[in-house]
Structure 1
Amino acid sequence: MTAFLPQQESGVVAFLRKCQCWINKTRYRYNYEHVPSLAMLDQLHWKDEPKIEWTKQVAARAEFLFKNQLHVAQDEILREAAHQKLKTLAEARDAEFILRKVVHEILHFGGLGVCESVHAKSMQDFESIFRGIQIPPVAANYRGDIEFGLKRLMGSNPVMIRQVSKLPDHFPVSQEHFAKAMGALLPNRNTDSLEQAAGEGRLFLLDYYEFDGAQQGSFPHGRKYLYAPLALFVSAIGGGPFLPVAIQCSQTPGSSNPIFTPADGNAWLLAKTIVDIADGNYHEAGTHLGRTHLIMEPFVLASARNLAWRHPIVQLLAPHFEGTLAINDMAWKHLISDTGAVDRLMGGSIATSRGLAVKTVQNMKIDQSMLPISFEQRGVADPHRLANYAYRDDSKLYWEAITLWVQAFLDIYYKSDQDIQSDFELQAWIRELTSKDGGRVQGLPAPQELTKAKLVEVITFVIYTCSVQHAAVNFPQYDHMSYVPNMPLAGYRPAPTSVDEKIEDEDYFKMLPPMDMVELQMNLGYLLGTVHYTQLGQYASGHFKDPRVAQPLRTFQQNLSGIGEQIQIRNLSRPTYETLLPQGVPQSINI
């Protein structure tokens, strides 16, 4: 269908456009109770159920999980249960309705476990559950301090670090701490100082203050711990590695809440684990669920309700919205429900996780969340001060390519800002997105302030978030989070209270989740982190009927191919980061 602006149409066609929007307003109603106060779809329509191709991909990954269970299970009853699941999948493969039902049950993440609720006694226990599934490479060196730093730059949550010129008063890292840390990290090679690093803009902070006083989890096995640590990092002189210098395990300094450094042995390992637990909780509820899945839902709804199918913007965005309503519907019904997978895995209570998701959405201002602005705000834009920030470097390539594509596409239909103002469907769209009775999105221009330039920014943000940003924070769930010691989602013992505390291997294992939760996190990470459905820039044949779109689309696809080549070249001279290779970036948030 060729695209037209609504002000260009009249008569029956104009009437039909209005009817379509009216029908969609009855089909796509807002609900503010599913995830309290956030704009969500009230009830999923059958037309928005996942396509069978997506369903088959999920089923194929689930098949690997069930085969893995066959290898791991010691109990014959559990082995038989895994065998029956495989049989059911095989029988359902050609029956679309049954297959959808089976996949829906799989995504509940119930009945997938064969491990007992006991803590590991050795590192071999964690490796033993990867039998039919490849153990992620991160398992080999996850305890290393360089690897711990790299997680902040190219891991599952690479959006948290902030450059600081001075430390907060409640995190009193001294030159003595700094020298002690650098002596352990770079023996006989350190010429740096805390003052010099601060003055040169090479100090970076992680601060999980949001978890200070948070309600702790207790489901399903009793007391869990969610910590509120602070961590200091330094970018070594001359573009050297990104190194962890100091960790304080909670917000209030004191004799029982000391500052740990890399010189503190196993206590330092526990401190790093505490940071990873906090980071994992913030990642899942805030960075991933809140700032990709939930923030995009109002855009999907407002587009369906206000933009007729003949509108060029809805034709541009529709492929980037595929599957989002369905996966979000599954998320609030199952993953973040009481006793769901998030409730089981996270260190905080389910109310804490849902509360953080809501808070991150409510505090998100779109005009301040544009990728280049976000890097500037965190003080991480300069590669000379912070080298090898692969997420930053690769994501910027996509932002620029998407901006050029959106600009070229919109130029076909909008010749001036007046065309924007005359587009009454677009005006209704932006108005509803920001309305208290609509999307409740903050940081968008008012209808009367919407220009071509601002519209390009907004549409770029939407496409980037649905594709690249979601890929950056979703797919590392397998690479970085399915091997639980690398990023556990809950602690099971208090933080250490002294740098001199004797920490044995047993103490470390007791901090990590019991094996049934280890297995659940592996299953969740593997399934959510390996389903790559669609690819950015690969629109269905004939999707755009307007011949004027063909050349800008070819240019966009060529630019994406060039990004892939550039990433491959970069990986020859930096720690490998493959998350944002084009073949791993879907069009939409669909898993």
Structure 2
Amino acid sequence: MAQQAPVNPTIPQNDPAGAAARKAYLETMQQQYEWTDAVPSLPGVPAVKNLPDSEQPSLEWWLMLVGVLLQIHRNDTAAEEALAAKGLASLDPLVLDADKAFVGAVEKLVTSLEQKIAGTKVTKKNIGTVVGEFLEEEAAKAGVAALKDYAAKLISTIEHRAALKAASGASDPRSIDDYREIFKTIDIPAIAYTFQDDREFARLRVAGPNAVLIELVEGSVPASCPITAEQYAAIVPNDTLAAALADGRIFQCDYKDLATIEPGIWNGQAKYLTCPVALFAVPPQSGSLVPIAINCDPSNPACEVITPSTDPDRQWGWEMAKFCVQAADGNYHELFAHLARTHLVIEAVAVATHRHLPDQHPLWALLVRHFEGTLFINWAAAVSLITKGGPIDHIFAGTIESSQATAAKARLSFNFAEGALPANLAARGFGPDSKLADYPYRDDALLVWGAIEGWVRSYVSVYYAADSDVAGDTELAAWGSAIAGAGSIEGFVTPATIADLVQVLTMIIFTGSAQHAAVNFPQKAIMEFAPAVTGALWQQAPDVQGGATKAQWLAMMPPQEMALEQLKVLYLLGSIYYRPLGTYVSPQYPYPQWFQDPAIIGEDGPLARFNAALAGVEQTIVERNANRLHPYTFLLPSLIPSSTNI
């Protein structure tokens, strides 16, 4: 039977008759959800020791995954056929026929399951009643098993396309068109044609995969990128560096936290990475950033400040400097903003929730749907993504050991209170008087944060009448202590008041849903095209700007085999939109509505108001995008999954 939230959730002090049952439930959960900090690929990071069976993804999720894998497989097949047509690869007809038969079987199963699920309907009057032609429960379980098997076989095939690897490794691309050529049946992202534009480079700081690093420069130009007044005046007309600093119009991205990464080697070829500093300005009578300077390697005294230029002798030095920033940004995004500060933070909260909040607790009912798939996908990443020989090892610059250690450090140094969106924006200099008007991530994220905060406040008020109810909740106290203690979440303080509780829950739900969406889905839209954002430099960064060539710039880019792997991995990670924010249904087929408490699901209740608020946010962002030069879609509520499940 599908699991659902209780009809009458209660906090422990209001449920004296159920104390024994609550205790027994938690004892069972604590045996299933054990802590460990010995995951080999994430040293010292608290995680679940063994993945409980209940954390396996749903039938719908597996269908989405297999569907995306089929799209990647089709792109690979088309790429192989194109190489064969050019005489760069030979394909065995028998292997091709077997491959087509296998794909046909997968497609047949996917179509059948999708049609049967579409025919499954759950009535509003009786949640347990299913009407119409539908998928039997046992058939659903069998479907999951078959899809898991097909997914494993598809992944194996995608990872071991021998003809494709041999041909792509035979001659590295030396033109941007060569990188575009690997997109056969997968659409080429728009950034493949705009990434060299300086305005696009600046826009990525506020609307790209890593829009959480840029910060205001206060006082004086940083010593790590000492642009002069003369250099600034040549870049920004009718302005002075002194005036821009005084007005709060100079910003920086400093990648100093990447210093722990030790560059590694792939197939005997050295990879490189620096910790650049990039400066940006908002010109007078403008609200948008323009790039003004880059120091590719502040630790190297020979590195000069490189500035925008179209001079034939200096323009490729500038392009190389931007590429250094993009490689650093790719590492910071993947290890810090994405893996450490969404996936791994939420895992600690999820484990603590299962261990210390019984299934009769209202906060258990609120939170667990926001953890759906997280422990599974984190486990999968730990054993395949960030391991020796995995994509992080291949695509990114560091030795796998140093990348793992850097991600672990990023997670353990994350401060929960300081990471909350309003506090984080203020700390980076983006208060109400910020001169940076064009910051789509900030503006849209605040809308979503507000909608979540309103939902949480309405929900909490149903079960906590006064601050004393929060202070007297012993299960809540144990939960908070576990997150801060065993979970090693710095800056987490157990809520003592209703206001505290609302902020803590808002932060958790926002991080697992909206913040993850903001850093995950640009992987497909932007990062799948390696010349735009990648994980390593394949030639050293320039010390000086003059004399560089286009060939040297291209030589910094990854080999075609690495670009293809990057496309496949990031296309997969950025393509699964499973259960949008505001959707609360059971994780078990046939997925009845999750909440059952009439105080929550009434026609004008908290859940209905939350979904109305999300619809309002959606409309506002759509209207904003109509007036933006480049629409920002990553925080449209309809495109925000409820949980970190990919």
Q: TM-score, normalised by structure 2?
A: 0.86
Provide the residue aligned with 1:55 in structure 2.
Answer: 62
Provide the residue aligned with 1:110 in structure 2.
Answer: 159
Provide the residue aligned with 1:444 in structure 2.
Answer: 492
Determine the C-alpha separation between the residues in 2 that align with 1:79 and 1:570. 52
Q: Which moved more, 1:82-91 or 1:126-135?
A: 82-91
Determine the C-alpha separation between the residues in 2 that align with 1:79 and 1:379. 61
Provide the residue aligned with 1:215 in structure 2.
Answer: 262
* Alpha-carbon spacing, 1:21–1:171, altered in 2? closer, same or farther (3 Å): same
Determine the C-alpha separation between the residues in 2 that align with 1:78 and 1:587. 44
Provide the residue aligned with 1:312 in structure 2.
Answer: 362
* Alpha-carbon spacing, 1:426–1:213, altered in 2? closer, same or farther (3 Å): closer
Tell me if structure 2 keeps the 8 A contact 1:270–1:508. Answer: yes
Q: 1:250 aligns with which of 297, 321, 332?
A: 297
Provide the residue aligned with 1:408 in structure 2.
Answer: 458
* Alpha-carbon spacing, 1:305–1:375, altered in 2? closer, same or farther (3 Å): same
Determine the C-alpha separation between the residues in 2 that align with 1:223 and 1:97. 42
How do residues 540-555 of structure 1 correspond to structure 2 at under 5 angstroms? Answer: 540=585, 541-550=592-601, 551-555=605-609
What are the Cα deviations for residues 495-554 of structure 1, in whole angstroms up to 9, with x where unaligned?
112222231x22122110000000000001111101101100011253111111121111
Determine the C-alpha separation between the residues in 2 that align with 1:429 and 1:518. 44
Q: 2:641 aligns with which of 583, 586, 589?
A: 586
Provide the residue aligned with 1:187 in structure 2.
Answer: none
One-letter identity of the residue aligned with 1:274:
C
The sequence identity of aligned pairs, in percent, is 32
Is it true that 1:300 corresponds to 2:366 in the alignment?
no
Determine the C-alpha separation between the residues in 1 that align with 2:61 and 2:288. 40
> In structure 2, the residue corresponding to 1:562 is in which secondary structure?
helix
Gaps of 5+ in 2: 1-5, 84-88, 111-142, 586-591
* Alpha-carbon spacing, 1:84–1:40, altered in 2? closer, same or farther (3 Å): farther
* Alpha-carbon spacing, 1:145–1:128, altered in 2? closer, same or farther (3 Å): same
Q: 2:232 aligns with which of 172, 178, 183?
A: 178
Determine the C-alpha separation between the residues in 2 that align with 1:84 and 1:280. 38
Is it true that 1:33 corresponds to 2:38 in the alignment?
yes
Determine the C-alpha separation between the residues in 1 that align with 2:512 and 2:93. 39
Provide the residue aligned with 2:79 in structure 1.
Answer: 72
The Cα of 1:80 is off from its aligned counterpart by 7.1
The Cα of 1:383 is off from its aligned counterpart by 6.4
How do residues 291-440 of structure 1 correspond to structure 2 at under 5 angstroms? Answer: 291-382=341-432, 384-435=434-485, 438-440=486-488
Tell me if structure 1 keeps the 8 A contact 2:523–2:573. Answer: yes
Q: 1:160 aligns with which of 189, 210, 213?
A: 213
Q: Which moved more, 1:89-98 or 1:244-253?
A: 89-98
* Alpha-carbon spacing, 1:105–1:292, altered in 2? closer, same or farther (3 Å): farther
What are the Cα deviations for residues 271-290 of structure 1, in whole angstroms up to 9, with x where unaligned?
00000000000100110000
Determine the C-alpha separation between the residues in 2 that align with 1:247 and 1:107. 40
Gaps of 5+ in 1: 183-189
Q: 1:230 aligns with which of 270, 274, 277?
A: 277
The Cα of 1:432 is off from its aligned counterpart by 1.1
Tell me if structure 2 keeps the 8 A contact 1:70–1:82. Answer: no
> In structure 1, the residue corresponding to 2:286 is in which secondary structure?
coil
The Cα of 1:389 is off from its aligned counterpart by 0.3
What are the Cα deviations for residues 184-215 of structure 1, in whole angstroms up to 9, with x where unaligned?
xxxxxx10111111010010011111223631
Q: TM-score, normalised by structure 1?
A: 0.94
Tell me if structure 2 keeps the 8 A contact 1:152–1:161. Answer: yes
One-letter identity of the residue aligned with 1:510:
A
> In structure 2, the residue corresponding to 1:205 is in which secondary structure?
strand
Tell me if structure 1 keeps the 8 A contact 2:296–2:541. Answer: yes
The Cα of 1:91 is off from its aligned counterpart by 2.7
Determine the C-alpha separation between the residues in 2 that align with 1:145 and 1:399. 31
Q: 1:260 aligns with which of 300, 306, 310?
A: 306
Determine the C-alpha separation between the residues in 1 that align with 2:234 and 2:102. 58
Provide the residue aligned with 1:472 in structure 2.
Answer: 518
Determine the C-alpha separation between the residues in 2 that align with 1:126 and 1:368. 40
* Alpha-carbon spacing, 1:221–1:588, altered in 2? closer, same or farther (3 Å): farther
Provide the residue aligned with 1:20 in structure 2.
Answer: 25
What are the Cα deviations for residues 538-589 of structure 1, in whole angstroms up to 9, with x where unaligned?
1125311111112111111011001111011111222311111122100000
What are the Cα deviations for residues 293-348 of structure 1, in whole angstroms up to 9, with x where unaligned?
00110111011111111110010011100000000000101100111110000011
Provide the residue aligned with 1:125 in structure 2.
Answer: 178
* Alpha-carbon spacing, 1:451–1:90, altered in 2? closer, same or farther (3 Å): farther
What are the Cα deviations for residues 432-464 of structure 1, in whole angstroms up to 9, with x where unaligned?
1111xx211111114xx6221111111000100
* Aligned-residue RMSD, C-alpha: 1.8
Number of corresponding residues: 577
One-letter identity of the residue aligned with 1:564:
E
Tell me if structure 2 keeps the 8 A contact 1:217–1:223. Answer: yes
What are the Cα deviations for residues 225-259 of structure 1, in whole angstroms up to 9, with x where unaligned?
111101000012123431110001002353x3111
Determine the C-alpha separation between the residues in 2 that align with 1:174 and 1:253. 19
